[in-house]
Structures are given as structure tokens and as C-alpha cells.
Amino acid sequence: MAVEKIVTRRFDNLKAHELDEYVATGGYEGLRRALSMSPSEVHDEVRTASLLGRGGAGFPAGVKWGFCPPNVWPRYLVVNGDESEPGTYKDRQLLERDPHQVIEGCLITCYAVGLTQCFLYVRGEMAHAQERIAKALNEAYAAGYVGKNILGSDFSVDVVLHWGAGAYIVGEETALIESLEGNRGMPRLKPPFFPAAVGLYGQPTIVNNVETMANIPWIVERGGDAFAAMGAENSKGTRVFAVSGHVNNPGVYEVEFGTTTFRDIIMGDEYAGGMRDGKALKGFVPGGASAPWFFEEHLDLPLEKVAVDQAGSMLGSGAIVVMDEDTDMVKACHNLVRFFARESCGKCTPCREGTTWLERILSRIIAGQGRPSDLSLLMEVSENISPGIAWPPRQTTICPLGPSAVSPIASALERFRNEFEDYITLSDRRVIPVGAA
Amino acid sequence: MSRLSEANLRIAHDILSRYPKKKSATIPLLHLAQEQDGYVTDDAMEHIAELVEVTPAEVLGTCSFYEMFKRAPVGDYRINICHGIACHLLGADDLIHHAEETLGVRQGTVTDDGKISIEGVECIAACTEAPCLQVNYRYMNNVSNEGFDVLVKGLRDGTVSVPKHGTLALTRQQIPEDKAAGNAWVEPDDAPAWWPEPEGDA
Ligand SMILES: Cc1cc2nc3c(=O)[nH]c(=O)nc-3n(C[C@H](O)[C@H](O)[C@H](O)COP(=O)(O)O)c2cc1C
Ligand code: SF4
Ligand code: FES
């Protein structure tokens, strides 16, 4: 199923990060084409492409771009390169291996939506990606692709490289804006539901993911129709998935969106190549730490947004983490919950207290200090964060981070309750001193 | 305990000029301070407060939110071992245990010679290369216990060279004055030059 690659098309070219090589391989042609069109024509191509945002929520980019209130200026573009959802590894590759492609996508977006400045927010821990982007921008400025009167036109925009300093929550778009304003990275209360209305400095702001931006040059170069011709009804084009965990060939694979199945990408020889050491599959995380787990019976689902949503999970950030039969699911669950407990920004009580308690209860179960009532306690605390523990989750919190911590608990308890019970029956409660709570 | 040096102050003004509002430069300037001293000193925070025109307490408020900013020395080499889910499945706990044993330090503390500290950290976006780590935010993939020992030896005897803690990208973005678009803060109601006609007439 060799499908044309879009965003990773230059990954085999180890010099693609240099401007000359980028241009020699068709780089900045999308920008040239865009500048020969009107902004609204460019916007229409992206609408036609039905490009879904690649950052997690999967909202159509062309629709989001249309949410900027008319005649309000200035407007900003903030590109989300905070990639830190456990299991996710694609944006860093796009930034390191083909930085100009991301920059070109940003420029076209600014042109199409009338955005007057772009901030490229790269995760703080990614020193190499920051370096590649800085070099690429310096070259692009010198050659007139970025900055004043781009390619001799009246289109002028600055792209500013900004980097974070270590906080997963900053990936949430309103927290990203807070961080860019120099504040603690805490999400804003909604409404307004979209920064497109009220964003950076209170101005209309488009927030898009790095991979979303990387698709734009191809779409403008080849047309929205060509993009929409790839993929399935509700999931067009291609998508990049990182497959990690207990597989033979962990790796980052760009596949046709919506038609490839989990079985193809996990078991297929041209992709992850099946389970390591011939072990059986126990379960897998289909879309990053926030996603409810999938199992053997889900393998034939296509990597398609609606199908995966209906099956009770999400493709999220394109992170597939595979667990084999020997995996201790209580520990795996604890690992994910600990992540959310650590990364909770602390702004709302159900998440701050709830995730902390969930982590503590799981810790004590693993430490052999679990109590029979702990399993219902886990559900009770989860219920306080995400009433009904359903999918899609409801939330008592400001942002979806709190409910995300419930996903692994609900998945693990439903499917592997016996493993939790084993920990608890085998635990030696007698070591707890009398009077200890 | 130091404010930003002359040279860094010039860089700081460069950075400040790119943001429509000064406070946005807070995180970049905190990185600059950490690059200078290896951690963020009180004096540097006061200096940054002057530059971005907020109180030192506000700078501290921002600084303390972010994991990368250190308020005390952490050694020349900070080794962050990933314990995210993919690395966990492929032996991160054993690797962290091995690191603690061989270095004789616990997570978050510095070796006696003041050179190395280790920490278990959340996913560092290299999940397909698990287990992995970063030394001062430079990657090492598929790390075995033996690989870890070789790394530590190399850091100690200088055969592995890694920029000191606080230094991130070695190249900085430069925006030459004559190339800058400079329309960061156009007047309200002022459409950018390339925007064809007033919107909303549709
Ligand atoms: C807790 C949390 C963390 C997030 N982290 C990221 C991230 O690291 N990168 C990203 O692009 N989007 C992340 N998102 C999604 C963003 O809020 C936003 O939807 C996205 O950047 C929009 O871009 P897109 O429409 O192009 O996908 C996160 C959301 C939440 C709630
Ligand atoms: S849900 Fe958690 S991370 Fe999100 S705003 Fe509330 S406390 Fe912060
Ligand atoms: S889980 Fe270790 S790099 Fe992602």
C-alpha cells in the first residue's frame, strides 16, 4: 500500500534541512503559488482539503481559520510545537528534518488568514529542533522568504522562534498563549471557545499544530482536491503515527489516513513489524496517553477519526504504544496516571487533587499496601473528575487534562481488574502500623 | 549571583524587540540567564523583571512553573532519563535504578564532584527509541546499562562533549533590521498590506 508521502517526503534526504536543498526539491513552491492567488483562494484550497488538525483534537483547519472575526487586527499565528503527550514523536522529527516545510506552511497560513506575526513555539527540551529552526529561519530571512516583502510581494510577516521550558499543559492552546505572554502556563476558562476570537494579547489568534502546518505547502502546491482524494470520508490525506513499545520495528510512519488499519501499522512488515519475541498482544494505546486503551478486537479498525471515536477512543496525537502479554497493566496504568498527576497545572481542584489521589492510591496498590475498597475509590475519584466516566469524556475541569487521567484507569480496571485484585489480595496490610490512615 | 552580562544584555534587547509586549520575553530571558549561570539566580530574575517591566515576584511566578528552570546548581551535566510509558515498557525503571547505583546519587541530587545529576522525566518525544535519555537536552537513544556507563565515563574524561547545562540551541535566530516585517502590532482596524479589501461584505 505504497501511498505518496506528504509531510515526511524529504525524510530520506539528510540535507533537506538546508535551504538550498529544500528549494532544489521543490521547496517554497507552495508559497510562490499562494502568492499568485488571493488569500481567500488559498483558504478555499485548505477548506477543500478538509485537513484535520494534527495536534490531538482533530478540528478542520480550514474551518478554524474562518473563525477570525472580520476586520479585527492584528491577528496572530501560534504554532504548537510543544509535543509532550507520552508516546508522541512526530512534530520533533518534522522540525528537525524538514524545518523549512513547517516555516513555509506558517507563511502560507499567515497569507491566507491575514495573520500579521507568527510565533513558532517549540518545546523547551528540544535543543536540536530549536537549532534547526533557528538556522532555517536565518537562511530564509537572508534569502527573502520570510520577513519584509516576501519574494518581492507586498506580503510581509515575521516568524519568531519561541521556546518553552518544560510543561506538558502548555500544549493546551490557551495555556500555550498564556505561556507566550510570559505567564504560568495555565489554561483559560472557556468560553470564548476559540483563540481565533480572543487569543494572544486578546487578539484573534490561530493555533495550529506543527504537522498541520507541514501539510499546507503540499496542499497549496497540488490543490485541495488532490489532498482530499487521499484517505477516507472523514479523514483526508496522510497522517504520521509513532508506533512504540513491544514491537519489532518501533518507528515513525506516514500512512494514508483513514484506510490503513491498526493491524497494518502494528503487525505489517513495512511498518512496526509485529510483536517482539513472538509474544501476544495484550493491549495498545491508540492515540497518546489521554486515549482509552484498545485491544486485540480493535486491530482491524481503520486509523480513521470517526471510526475510532465511535469505538470509544481517539487517534489523538498519533501515538500508538503497544503492550505485550507480559506487561503489568497495573504498573502501566500507574505510569500514565502519574504523568497526569505531575503535569496537572493545579488551576482546578478536581484535577489537582483528583489526579494526585489517583496516583497515590495506585502507588500504594503496587507497593503491596492496597485495600479492597481502593478499586471503588479509584472509580469514585475518577467520577469526580469526569462524571459518568464516558467517552467522549465529560469534565468538571477547565481543560481536558483531568479527564485524560481517567482514561487509563477506566481501561485497565474494566479489562484487567483481576490484576489489581491480585496486588491487593497478595498485599500484606499487617505492616501498616495501627492508627495509620 | 549575577545580572545579565553586557553581551547577554544585547541579546536580551534583540529578543525583546520581537514581541509586541515585553512580558512575552520572560521565558526566553530566563533561558538566557540559565545559559549564563547554569541556573537562574535571584539577581538575574530581578534584572529580567526590569527588562520586561514587571515585578520580580511575577518573574519568579513564571520561572517556578516550568520544570527546566533550576534555582540552584544542578551540576555540569543534567541527565534526564525518560520514564514515560514507552520507555517504561522497555526498561526505564531498571535504567534509572542502574544510574542511581553507579553514580551513588538519588534522582534530583548531584554527584560529589558536582558534575552530574540525574532525574526521571516524562516523555521526551523519542518514544520509538526507548529507553532514552537526554544530557543537557541532547538525546541518547536505545540506552543500555553499559551504554549509560560509557556515557558517564565520557562526560567525566571529556571524550563526550556536551554544552554545559543551560545552553540550548547553539544558533540563535537573527532578524536583520532591514529584513524585518515589523508589522507585529499594526494599528487596530489596519488591515495588513496584502489583504485585499475589507472583509465581511459577503
Ligand atoms: C492537555 C493538552 C495538551 C495538548 N498538547 C498539545 C501539544 O503538545 N501539541 C499540539 O499540537 N496540540 C496539543 N494539544 C491540542 C491543542 O490544544 C490544540 O487543539 C492544537 O494545538 C490545535 O492545533 P490543530 O488544530 O492543528 O491540531 C493539547 C491539548 C490538551 C488539552
Ligand atoms: S484540568 Fe488540570 S491541567 Fe487543566 S486547567 Fe484544570 S488543573 Fe489545570
Ligand atoms: S516515553 Fe520515553 S520518549 Fe516518549
User: Separation of A175 CA from ligand 3 center, angstroms?
Assistant: 22
* Grid cell at residue A174: 490557551
Looking at residue A230, its pLDDT comes to 96
Q: What is the pLDDT of residues B91-150, one digit of tens each?
A: 999 999 999 999 999 998 999 999 999 999 999 999 999 999 999 999 999 999 999 999
What is the rounded average pLDDT of the residues A269-291? 97
pLDDT at position A152 is 96
DSSP letter at A174 equals H
pLDDT score at A430: 46
A66-101 residue pLDDT tens: 999 999 999 999 999 999 999 999 999 999 999 999
SS3 of A218, please? Answer: helix
Q: What is the pLDDT of residues A369-405, one digit of tens each?
A: 999 999 999 999 999 999 999 999 999 999 999 999 9
Rounded CA-CA distance A65/B134 in Å is 37
**pLDDT number for residue B184:** 63
Average pLDDT over residues A253-279: 97
If contacts are CB pairs under 8 Å, which of residues 263-322 in chain A contact chain B? 285, 289, 319, 321
Give the other-Cβ count within 10 Å of A388's Cβ.
Answer: 8
Q: Could you give the domains of chain B?
A: 6-65 (1.10.10.1590), 77-157 (3.40.30.10)
In this prediction the pTM is: 0.96
Q: Which DSSP category does A151 fall into?
A: G
- Residue A432 pLDDT: 52
Q: Which of A125, A135, A337, A342 to mutate to test the interface with B (most CBs of B within 10 A)?
A: A125
Q: How many angstroms separate the Cα of A204 from the Cα of each of A3, A54, A65?
A: 37, 21, 10
- Cβ atoms of A387 and A316 within 8 Å: the answer is no
CA angle A51, A57, A62 (to 5 degrees): 30
Parallel/antiparallel/unpaired status of strands A281-285 and A319-324: antiparallel
Q: Residue B187 pLDDT > 70, yes or no?
A: no
Convert the pLDDT of each residue in A164-207 to its tens digit.
999 999 999 999 999 999 999 999 998 888 899 999 999 999 99
User: Is the bond into A191 cis (omega within 30 degrees of 0)?
Assistant: yes
pLDDT of A426? 82
From the DSSP assignment, how many helices (H) and strands (E) are in chain B?
7, 4
Instruction: Please give the pLDDT value at position A214.
Output: 98
Question: Which residue did the predictor score with more confidence, B195 or B189?
Answer: B195
Kindly report the number of other CB atoms within 10 A of residue A72's CB atom: 16
**3-state SS string over B109-143?**
CECCCCCEEEEEECCCCCHHHCCCEEECCEEECCC
The stretch B27-38 carries a mean pLDDT of 97
Average pLDDT, chain A: 96
pLDDT on residue B36: 97
pLDDT tens string A208-229: 999 999 999 999 999 999 999 9
Task: Spell out a b/e string for B119-136, using b for 16 or more CB atoms within 10 Å of the CB, else e.
Answer: bbbbbbbbbbbbbbbbbb
Strand order in the sheet with A281-285: A251-256, A238-245, A319-324, A281-285
**The predicted structure's pLDDT at residue A2:** 63
Q: A303: Cβ–Cβ under 8 A, 6 or more apart, which residues?
A: A235, A239, A241, A255, A257, A258, A259, A260, A261, A262, A265, A315
Q: In ligand 2, which atom is closest to the CA atom of A403? A: 1
Give yes or no for residue A407 having a pLDDT over 90. yes
pLDDT at A192 (0 to 100)? 86
Q: Which residues of chain A from 51 to 70 reach within 8 Å of chain B, CB to CB?
A: 70
For residue A244, report the distance from its CA to the centre of ligand 3, in Å: 9
Residue B202 has a pLDDT of 43
Q: Does A184 touch chain B (CB under 8 A)?
A: yes
Ligand number nearest to the C-alpha of A406: 2
With a cut of 60, say whether residue B201 has pLDDT above it. Answer: no
Distance CA A126, CA A81 (A): 10
Question: What are the cell numbers at A238?
Answer: 496522510
Measured between beta carbons, which residues in chain A are less than 8 angstroms from residue B125? 83-84, 88-89, 91-92, 123, 125-126
Q: How far apart are CA A137 and CA B173, in angstroms?
A: 7
Domains in chain A, please, with CATH?
19-228 (3.40.50.11540), 232-324 (3.10.20.600), 329-429 (1.20.1440.230)
C-alpha A123 to ligand 3 mean position (Å): 14
CA distances A100 to A135, A138, A412, A419, Å, are: 10, 11, 42, 49
Q: What is the pLDDT of residue A190?
A: 87
Residue A433, pLDDT above cutoff 70: no
Q: What is the mean pLDDT of chain B?
A: 94
pLDDT in tens, A117-141: 999 999 999 999 999 999 999 999 9
The minimum CA-CA distance between B74 and chain A, rounded to whole Å, is 16
**Is the pLDDT score of A1 beyond 80?**
no
Cβ atoms within 10 Å of B152's Cβ, excluding its own = 21
Asked if residues B27 and A165 have their Cβ atoms less than 8 Å apart, the reply is: yes
Q: Which residues contact A268 (CB under 8 A, 6 or more apart)?
A: none
Element (H, E) at A243: strand A238-245
Q: What residue spans of A114-209 are helical by DSSP H? A: 127-142, 173-180
pLDDT of A436 strictly over 60: no
Q: d(Cα B7, Cα B28) in Å, to the nearest integer?
A: 15
Rounded to an integer, what distance in angstroms lies between the CA atom of residue B64 and that of residue A401?
Answer: 20
Query: What span, in angstroms and rounded, lies between the C-alpha atoms of B94 and B130?
Result: 13
Q: How confident is the model at residue B17 (pLDDT cuts 50, 70, 90)?
A: very high
Please work out whether the CB of residue A305 comes within 6 Å of at least one atom of ligand 2: no
Under the banding of pLDDT at 50, 70 and 90, the label for residue B31 is very high
Q: How confident is the model at residue B188 (pLDDT cuts 50, 70, 90)?
A: low
